[in-house]
């Protein structure tokens, strides 16, 4: 009997709560502090917005399930993220139970903006409490918040927190234990009638009345030594912004930062990439040496191991790029970069919010396309998705390096610059300029929807928090491996089949790929691509290159019947193409890789992000058309000038 009386804690059911708040309020830091490694990341049903769920047990022994909802400025959604937040809270998201209660997170130093969301949430009638996060920063700026008075005015519990510090969530955990939410009925909060009433109540809120109520709350609950309701930015932030937001120095600082980021992506990643390459090669050799020659060994070595390795080798570059992006975001700089570029990008039909997705696309177009979810205007989001593949992703570097090394002399021009480096820089700039031109054309084709001002909060600068950075990188690495590695692996197995079957007939003298389905396809494509200088061997290499750009180099080696691998392959292949191709063909192929559609994995992500095949088909057609036209011009001009 005594055993039964001591067991109730273990028999408690987890209570589902949701963290909700504006972007940059520290909500995710709070989620990480509460749940640690007990997190699951996926997608919400029917959409591609990330779903983050974790679990923890409060000091009182109550188990909790917690959702980290996407950041939202309002429940009157204008972005996919905000729509998901609204639907989850109201119980409208497919296969998603409505949370029993809400934990609204607000930046204590910017209550004028965040309290508007709190007042919207109160109209829903869902149990909730308010967390004034980053209270230390508010106090550093001289703000004094009467927490008890604010709680009485809002008629909900209000606590303070510093999510990035150990023990910074103790007040929240105590409030959860005292809330009694663990005893709430396990049924959902919302019915169809109450959902409709909730939406109507939010829509009926007067913007002016809400603003006046926020000002009233600030007046009676918040004080500042200077006698104002708002505190100025931190002195250090003010000093940095004099340069970071300066119309001349600001863009220069941004350019230097981006240069350093790309230098790090392409320099720091070389060692771990070599290690991954060596590891997959060693694994392939080990498996190959311990299996009898046959289809199964070829499938495992050439299809599975080589396919996974071709995806994983770029993981270090993805991690390095996201480390910089997450650090710049956590420090408070990225919103300022978007602000600086808003006017320039607005001239071609984009907003400053497109900066981060396009920046991400330089590592891989897939995370760049996924990052467009935070863009409010559907037209801006669609245009950004359509031009993201024009940003030069890291998978194109092996092809660029091979062709530049083979056909561009390694010499210094003007006594300062390396000619090969100038060509590589030109290829990057060609993609950027092409993206801006396409955006400008699409703006005219799709119609002008009216200029939308870029409104966003500029948080104080602070050092990135290593815990948040580590968790963010782990999450991004897992997403990359799961969503990209598995797709490429499956496609490589398919392409292995196409390159292997049917086998060469008895007495065949040509490489086996000549007689395969892929070889037959390459010779058929030569009819279409010969006007831009491509022979059938190049056409064959383009087939596996659609699965992963970097595979094109290995495919060319197979086509030319080379037995070497690794560095020996690169050197031998360079000699062969120097002897077999003209400069016009090489420049035409470089141009093709600048503009042609990204890998099939990118197109599949576009299909998921746009919920249909229409946009991927449009993207494929326009990119192929652009690549063909530009390659034809480059090929003909080079022939004209070189004879």
The annotation places the binding site at 21-28, 32, 35-36, 46-50, 68-71, 133-136
Q: Beta strand pairing status for 63-68 and 15-21?
A: parallel
The binding site for GTP consists of: 21-28, 46-50, 68-71, 133-136
Strand, helix or coil at 166? coil
Burial class of residue 404 in the structure, from the number of CB atoms within 10 Å of its CB (0-12 exposed, 13-18 middle, 19+ buried): buried
Answer for the pair 431, 392: CB distance below 8 angstroms, yes or no. yes
Q: What is the largest CA-CA distance in the chain?
A: 98
Phi, psi of 619 (to 5 degrees): -60, -45
Answer for the pair 592, 532: CB distance below 8 angstroms, yes or no. yes
Q: Beta strand pairing status for 144-145 and 222-223?
A: antiparallel
Give the Cβ contact number of residue 5 at 10 Å: 7
Q: Show the 3-state SS of 484-553.
A: HHHHHHHHHHHHHHHHHCCCCCCCCCCCHHHHCHHHHHHHHHHHHHHHHCCCHHHHHHHHHHCCCCCHHH
Residue with tokens 């039964």: 4
Please list the residues that pair with 16 across neighbouring strands: 65
DSSP conformation letters of 41-75: EEE-TTS-SEEEEEEEE-TTS-EEEEEEPPP-S-S
Rounded CA gap, 21 and 30, in Å?
11
Please list the residues that pair with 256 across neighbouring strands: none
- Evaluate the omega torsion of the peptide bond into residue 515 and state whether it is cis, within 30 degrees of 0: no
Rounded CA gap, 363 and 371, in Å?
13
Buried b (16+ CB within 10 A) or exposed e, 615-637: bbeebbebbeebbbebbeebbee
CA angle 57, 60, 65 (to 5 degrees): 30
Give the Cβ contact number of residue 181 at 10 Å: 21
The binding site for Mg(2+) consists of: 32, 35-36
CA distances (Å), origin 13, targets 52, 184, 233, 504 = 20, 11, 44, 63
Burial class of residue 399 in the structure, from the number of CB atoms within 10 Å of its CB (0-12 exposed, 13-18 middle, 19+ buried): buried
Rounded CA gap, 639 and 643, in Å?
5
Rounded CA gap, 279 and 274, in Å?
8
Sequence-ordered alpha helix ranges (H) in 222-314: 235-244, 249-267, 270-289, 295-298, 306-312
Answer for the pair 38, 55: CB distance below 8 angstroms, yes or no. yes
């Amino acid at each position: 009997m005594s055993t039964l009386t001591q067991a109730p804690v273990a028999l408690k059911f987890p209570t589902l709560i949701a963290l909700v708040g504006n972007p940059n309020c520290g909500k995710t830091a709070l989620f990480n502090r509460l749940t640690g490694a007990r997190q699951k990341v996926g997608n919400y049903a029917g959409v591609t917005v990330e779903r983050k769920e974790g679990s923890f047990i409060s000091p009182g022994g109550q188990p909790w399930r917690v959702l980290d909802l996407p950041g939202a400025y309002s429940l009157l959604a204008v972005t996919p993220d905000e729509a998901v937040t609204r639907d989850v809270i109201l119980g409208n998201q497919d296969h998603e139970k409505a949370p029993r209660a809400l934990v609204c997170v607000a930046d204590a130093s910017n209550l004028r903006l965040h309290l508007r969301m709190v007042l919207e949430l109160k109209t829903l009638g869902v149990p909730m409490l308010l967390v004034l996060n980053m209270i230390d920063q508010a106090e550093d700026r001289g703000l004094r918040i009467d927490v008890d008075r604010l709680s009485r005015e809002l008629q909900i519990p209000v606590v303070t927190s510093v999510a990035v510090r150990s023990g910074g969530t103790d007040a929240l955990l105590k409030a959860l234990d005292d809330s009694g939410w663990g005893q709430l009925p396990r049924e959902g909060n919302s019915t169809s009638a109450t959902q409709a009433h909730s939406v109507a109540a939010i829509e009926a809120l007067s913007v002016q009345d809400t603003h006046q109520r926020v000002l009233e709350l600030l007046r009676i609950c918040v004080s500042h030594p200077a006698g104002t309701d708002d505190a100025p930015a931190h002195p250090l932030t003010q000093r940095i912004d004099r340069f970071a937001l300066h119309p001349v120095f600001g863009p220069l600082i941004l350019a230097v930062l981006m240069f350093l980021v790309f230098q790090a992506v392409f320099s720091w990643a070389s060692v771990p990439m070599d290690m991954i390459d060596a590891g997959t090669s060693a694994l392939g050799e080990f498996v190959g040496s311990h299996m009898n020659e046959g289809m199964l060994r070829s499938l495992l070595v050439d299809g599975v191991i080589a396919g996974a390795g071709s995806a994983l080798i770029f993981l270090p570059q993805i991690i390095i790029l996201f480390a910089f992006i997450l650090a710049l975001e956590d420090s408070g700089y990225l919103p300022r970069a978007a602000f600086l570029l808003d006017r320039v990008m607005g001239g071609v039909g984009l907003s400053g919010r497109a900066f981060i997705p396009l920046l991400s696309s330089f590592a891989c177009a897939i995370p760049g396309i996924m990052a467009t979810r935070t863009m409010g205007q559907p037209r801006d989001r669609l245009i950004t998705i359509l031009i993201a593949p024009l940003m030069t992703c890291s998978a194109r570097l092996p092809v660029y390096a091979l062709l530049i090394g083979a056909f561009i002399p390694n010499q210094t021009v003007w006594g300062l610059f390396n000619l090969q480096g100038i060509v590589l820089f030109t290829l990057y700039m060609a993609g950027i300029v092409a993206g801006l031109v396409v955006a400008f054309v699409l703006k005219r084709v799709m119609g002008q929807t009216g200029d939308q001002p870029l409104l966003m909060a500029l948080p104080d600068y602070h050092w990135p928090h290593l815990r948040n950075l580590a968790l963010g990188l782990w999450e991004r690495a897992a997403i990359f491996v799961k969503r990209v590695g598995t797709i490429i692996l499956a496609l490589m197995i398919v392409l292995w089949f196409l390159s292997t079957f049917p086998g060469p007939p008895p007495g065949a003298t040509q490489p086996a790929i000549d007689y395969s389905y892929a070889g037959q396809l390459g010779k058929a494509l030569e009819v279409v691509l010969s006007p831009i200088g491509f022979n059938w061997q190049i056409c064959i290499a383009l087939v596996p290159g659609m699965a992963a750009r970097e595979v094109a180099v290995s495919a060319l080696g197979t086509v030319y019947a080379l037995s070497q691998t690794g560095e020996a392959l690169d050197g031998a292949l360079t000699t062969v193409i120097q002897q077999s191709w003209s400069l016009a063909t090489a420049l035409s192929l470089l141009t093709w890789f600048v503009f042609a559609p990204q890998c099939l994995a990118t197109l599949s992500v576009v299909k998921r992000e746009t919920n249909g095949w229409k946009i991927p088909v449009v993207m494929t057609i326009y990119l192929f058309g652009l690549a063909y036209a530009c390659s034809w011009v480059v090929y003909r001009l080079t022939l004209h000038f070189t004879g």
